[in-house]
Amino acid sequence: MQKPRRMTPNVAVLFHYTHQRKGSDEGMPLVPLTQVLGEAVKGGYGVGAFNCNNMEQVQSIMKAAQECKSPVILQASRGALKYTNMVYLKHLVQAAVEEHPEIPVVLHLDHGTLEAVKQAIPLGFTSVMIDGSHLPFEENVAVTKEVVALAHDHGVSVEAELGTLGGIEEDVVGEVQLTDPDQAAEFVERTGCDALALAIGTSHGAYKFKAEPKLAIDLVAEVWDRVHIPLVMHGASSVPQDLVAEINKYGGKLEATYGVPISAIQATIKYGVRKINVDTDIRLASTAAVRKLLAEEPQKFDLRDYMSAAREAMTKIVSRRMHEFGCAGHAFDYKPITIADMKVKYAQ
């Protein structure tokens, strides 16, 4: 009779880990955006929504959330879904939730179309954005209403947008058209969306402003008074000048540019902004770290060396934003619910 093979120490550890975790997925689900932003309304803080495309970005955002004890929104654009062939991103986020079951995590589709929404919901996204801001008002209402009906039937939250931002982000191109408060009230009433992205003068991408911007902060307060649902700020990266300088020092050629001042973001949080989108700052942090390491240690060629540096830099910038937005320390304020719970609430 053949004796059973003895497991090596590494295999034994993996065996123990997977069997300890087996069947535990139900105990650590992703959380609906509606709950996370609702709690932010109660606490008077904003929650960072950080775009991710690969493992290191997911790991860095989650490490920052753990260290800051903060709820977090992991965002994926249509470009991210294409880059990761969808299924890879799905399992990266599942791994993040499994490793950090104590952290409320939302998986959100950024700048979605109706088709993208239909792809995201079966992948397990707990929140979707339908971006009809480029459409005439009535068409925006119609497509948003359709997405709300579809998403709510699955317990999934919906963010919509009214007004347009400037700049370029992937295939999102726009000119600034500020949100109309009267239209905002009508839009929310007719669509039933859970959160509303505003156009208050911010811009997508790294090249936002040639000088420090002046945002329409009073507009935020006026819209909040009329709609009373969580508001969203897009294009909220601050484009830290030290990171731009670091990139250019080590061979980059970024043009002079300015982002959204943290003080301006904090002012909008006081008036009702609860979700703050950050993408460019994370890209700048990782690029600066990679360029620096490869320039100072040109003998390096192991991806793990320079991606570790990038991961550390991204963790640092995300952690800083969590403190600045006020969400640090709020991960344990409430008991997370699931999209199954939200499905029941929406049905009622």
* Cβ(219)–Cβ(178) below 8 Å: yes
What's the predicted TM-score (pTM) here?
Answer: 0.87
pLDDT tens for the chain, 348 residues long, are: 444 444 444 433 333 333 333 333 444 589 999 999 999 999 999 999 999 999 999 999 999 999 999 999 999 988 888 888 888 989 999 999 999 999 999 999 999 999 999 999 999 999 999 999 889 999 999 999 999 999 999 999 999 999 876 544 445 445 667 899 999 999 999 999 999 999 887 655 444 445 566 788 889 999 999 999 999 999 878 899 999 999 999 999 998 888 899 999 999 999 999 999 999 999 999 999 999 999 999 999 999 999 999 999 999 999 999 999 999 999 999 999 999 999 999 998
Q: What is the pLDDT of residue 257?
A: 82
Closest CA to 109 of 94, 99, 91, 124: 124
Quick check: 279 and 51 in contact, CB under 8 A?
A: yes
CA angle 86, 237, 337 (to 5 degrees): 55
Fold of 28-347: TIM Barrel (3.20.20)
Residue 263 contacts residue 221 (beta carbons within 8 Å): no
Task: Determine which one of 110, 131, 194, 281 is catalytic.
Answer: 110
Q: Name the residue among 275, 232, 249, 242 with its Cα closest to residue 71.
A: 275
Longest dimension (CA), the chain: 81
pLDDT of res. 11? 37
Asked about 279 being catalytic, the answer comes back as: no
